[in-house]
């Protein structure tokens, strides 16, 4: 009798393996499908407006956003863009010191249980719903700004910036801490063995080595700032205005879409204009995230 | 290689001056005791090698001298370590100052992710106030001198501003030695400095270590008995956290006093 290896058997493990492979493929591809789908949908809705009523100069240079005016509807988005940018700018002034400080503390100073506790707390902070942050802005920060700075309105760039900064800080902290953790320990050991103090080691070795990751943490924070809606809507005052000081109320791109989209007729100019704002936001956040990603890749290559 | 070792007249080997001394040194990692009452004296200007099987405590002993052990946080030490008659575990000791005088070379070359020039100047800038304000010519002189001492100048002089992590392992390890020299350490600790290198690079680094002999006191941990034999003046054998035997390398390898040393040298364990 001839001995033979049975190598062509299809058993349960083989079938399960195939099924899992297909499922994983579907899972992986779906992210791409959804992104492309969303992009196509937003673009289609926006293009109707872009090709009919859209005026590039008005859109980017006028501050008159009056889409509901019956005889002279205008679609100047400059004030909205400046509103978003100014709130995000203040937010970064708040978030960068907080998040980088927290990341350095967690990664380089805290040890054992306090480190783990802090990490959990930071992640918890990231899970607070944005409407709760908006509520805090509306009630606590509003009163605080009125009292401290003696201004008539506390719902302004400063308020929204503080709220947004606190919102963006946790995710920035987590990413920055990952970047610091990725710095090999032997660099720290080398610096300490040469007699560097803790701060000299951090400033001259760890931070430069983690630079790319830290930059991308900040960029993702900026992306978060551009995209945040509810908290900004509640804390910024929501009035169309080119801000000249942090105490001016502004209106953000996102807040405009959220507040107005429910009241427009599908297919109308107003509807299309809001989708154009959305497309603009989408492109900007996409660019920011792409830059962050490219910057992070820079670490691995160098 | 290392021919100078066999020269009959060598004033260094007559020195009685002690650079590093430990007295009843015991050390615990958490509840695990890694060193038991180690008494050990390293003579100044010589190369002393520490040998013994894995886990015998030789690296731990080395890492007590510059107290880099304490990075781990769960280390407890008892007893005394003196470097040039200064008790380094005394309460007033600043670790940064201690580590200026006691340099260290690690098992895996660990140049900082900076340029070659910045690596050489790193320790100098930490310890010499005003270092960064020095004229460029002075800083260049420091870099050149250190690199010449480790025989690396001719290979890297045209790429001083390139990243040090792009060098070969041998060059990296030489750079790691060179960067200690501008602050003139008294003692250099070397923790298996050649274990990541190929035989040719090992020979080159051993030659370099031999050249530094005299000016610096070198304490060398090695896994490689042949290396201890050819590249050190004195040799100490450790086992299970205890110092078993310490003497001139030639004597220790030819006529060890302790049977455990003899067995280890013959390769009966380890």
Say whether pLDDT at B2 is over 70: no
The predicted structure's pLDDT at residue A52: 85
ipTM of the complex: 0.87
The predicted structure's pLDDT at residue B12: 59
Task: Give Cα B184 to chain centroid, integer Å.
Answer: 14
Nearest to B104 among A111, A193, A200 (CB): A193
Domain B17-265, CATH: 3.40.50.300
Inter-chain CB proximity A187 and B113 less than 8 Å: yes
Say whether pLDDT at B169 is over 80: yes
Mean pLDDT of chain A: 91
User: CA torsion sign, A69 to A74 to A79 to A80?
Assistant: positive
Inter-chain CB proximity B113 and A192 less than 8 Å: no
Residue B100 with chain A: CB contacts under 8 Å: 194-195
Separation CA A186–CA B107 (nearest Å):
10
By C-alpha distance, which of A289, A276, A227 is closest to A255? Answer: A227
Can you tell me whether residue B218 is helix, strand or coil?
strand
Q: E strand or H helix at B29, and its extent?
A: strand B18-29
Using an 8 Å CB-CB cutoff, list residues of chain B that contact chain A: 66, 68, 71, 73, 95-100, 103-104, 106, 108, 110-114, 122-123, 126-127, 163, 176, 179-180, 183
pLDDT band at residue B241, thresholds of 50, 70 and 90?
very high
- Name B105's bridge partners: B190
pTM for the whole structure: 0.83
CB count, 10 Å around CB of A236? 31
Residue A204 with chain B: CB contacts under 8 Å: 122
What phi and psi values does residue A208 have, to the nearest 5 degrees? -60, -40
Say whether pLDDT at A199 is over 70: yes
Mutation site, A179, A180, A195, A202, interface B, largest B CB count within 10 A: A195
The predicted structure's pLDDT at residue A299: 56
Separation CA A84–CA A77 (nearest Å):
11
User: Where exactly are the structural domains of chain B?
Assistant: 17-265
Average pLDDT over residues A82-99: 95
Residue A209 with chain B: CB contacts under 8 Å: 113
Inter-chain CB proximity A111 and B126 less than 8 Å: no
Question: Per the CATH hierarchy, to which homologous superfamily does domain A83-255 belong?
Answer: MetI-like (1.10.3720.10)
Inter-chain CB proximity A186 and B106 less than 8 Å: yes
Mutation site, B113, B185, B196, B219, interface A, largest A CB count within 10 A: B113
Average pLDDT over residues A10-30: 93
Q: E strand or H helix at A288, and its extent?
A: helix A269-301
Give the whole-number percent of chain B exceeding pLDDT 70: 94
Closest residue in chain A to residue B65, using alpha carbons only: A193
pLDDT tens digits along A151-182: 999 999 999 999 999 999 999 999 999 999 99
| Pairing of β B187-191 and β B102-105 | parallel
The predicted structure's pLDDT at residue B14: 63
Average pLDDT over residues B243-254: 92
Q: At what angle do helices A78-104 and A157-181 cross, to 10 degrees?
A: 40
The predicted structure's pLDDT at residue A71: 83
Nearest to B73 among A111, A187, A195 (CB): A111
Give the whole-number percent of chain A exceeding pLDDT 70: 97
Residue keyed to tokens 């009163």: A143
Inter-chain CB proximity A195 and B112 less than 8 Å: no
pLDDT tens digits along B109-132: 999 999 999 999 999 999 888 888
Tokens read off for A46: 């926006």
Separation CA B20–CA B83 (nearest Å):
5
């Amino acid at each position: 009798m001839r001995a033979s290896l049975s190598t062509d058997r299809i058993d349960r493990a083989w079938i399960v393996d195939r099924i899992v492979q297909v499922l994983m493929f579907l899972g992986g591809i779906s992210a791409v499908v959804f992104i492309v789908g969303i992009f196509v949908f937003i673009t289609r809705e926006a293009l109707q407006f872009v090709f009919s009523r859209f005026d590039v100069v008005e859109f980017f240079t006028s501050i008159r956003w009056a889409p509901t005016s019956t005889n002279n509807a205008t679609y100047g988005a400059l004030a909205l863009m400046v509103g978003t940018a100014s709130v995000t700018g203040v937010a970064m002034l708040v978030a960068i010191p907080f998040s980088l400080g927290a990341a350095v503390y967690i990664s380089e100073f805290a040890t054992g249980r306090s480190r783990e506790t802090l990490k959990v707390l930071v992640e918890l902070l990231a899970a607070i719903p944005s409407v709760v942050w908006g509520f805090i802005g509306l009630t606590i920060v509003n009163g605080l700004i009125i009292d401290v700075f003696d201004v008539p309105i506390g719902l302004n760039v400063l308020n929204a910036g503080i709220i947004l900064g606190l919102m963006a800080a946790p995710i920035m902290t987590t990413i920055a801490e990952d970047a610091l953790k990725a710095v090999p320990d032997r660099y720290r050991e080398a610096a300490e063995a040469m007699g560097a103090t803790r701060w000299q080691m951090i400033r001259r070795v760890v931070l430069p080595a983690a630079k790319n990751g830290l930059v991308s943490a900040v960029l993702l924070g900026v992306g978060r700032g551009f995209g945040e809606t509810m908290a900004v809507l509640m804390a910024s005052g929501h009035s169309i205005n080119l801000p000249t000081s942090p105490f001016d109320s502004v209106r953000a791109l996102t807040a405009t879409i959220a507040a107005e989209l429910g009241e427009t007729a599908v297919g109308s100019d107003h509807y299309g204009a809001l989708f154009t704002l959305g497309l603009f936001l989408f492109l900007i956040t996409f660019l920011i995230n792409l830059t962050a990603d490219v910057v992070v890749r820079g670490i691995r290559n160098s | 290689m290392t021919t100078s070792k066999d020269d009959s007249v060598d004033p260094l080997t007559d020195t009685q001056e002690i650079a590093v001394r430990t007295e009843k040194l015991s050390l615990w990692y958490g509840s695990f005791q890694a060193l038991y009452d180690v008494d050990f004296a390293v003579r100044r200007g010589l190369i002393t090698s520490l040998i013994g099987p894995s886990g015998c405590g030789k690296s731990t002993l080395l890492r007590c001298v510059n107290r880099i052990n304490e990075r781990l946080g769960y280390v407890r030490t008892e007893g005394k370590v003196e470097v040039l008659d200064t008790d380094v575990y005394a309460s007033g000791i600043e670790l940064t100052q201690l580590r200026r005088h006691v340099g260290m070379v690690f098992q895996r070359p660990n140049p900082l992710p900076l340029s070659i020039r910045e690596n050489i100047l790193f320790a100098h800038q930490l310890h010499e106030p005003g270092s960064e304000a020095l004229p460029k010519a002075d800083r260049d002189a420091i870099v050149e001198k250190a690199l010449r001492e480790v025989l690396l100048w001719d290979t890297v002089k045209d790429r001083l501003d390139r990243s040090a992590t792009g060098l070969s392992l041998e060059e990296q390890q030489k750079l790691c030695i060179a960067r200690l020299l501008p602050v003139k350490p008294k003692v250099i600790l070397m923790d298996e400095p050649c274990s990541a290198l190929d035989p040719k690079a090992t020979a080159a680094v051993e030659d370099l270590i031999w050249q530094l002999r005299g000016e610096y006191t070198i304490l060398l941990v090695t896994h490689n008995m042949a290396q201890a034999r050819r590249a050190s003046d004195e040799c100490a054998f450790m086992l299970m956290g205890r110092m078993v035997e310490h003497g001139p390398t030639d004597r220790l390898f030819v006529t060890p006093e302790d049977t455990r040393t003899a067995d280890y040298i013959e390769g009966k364990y380890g």
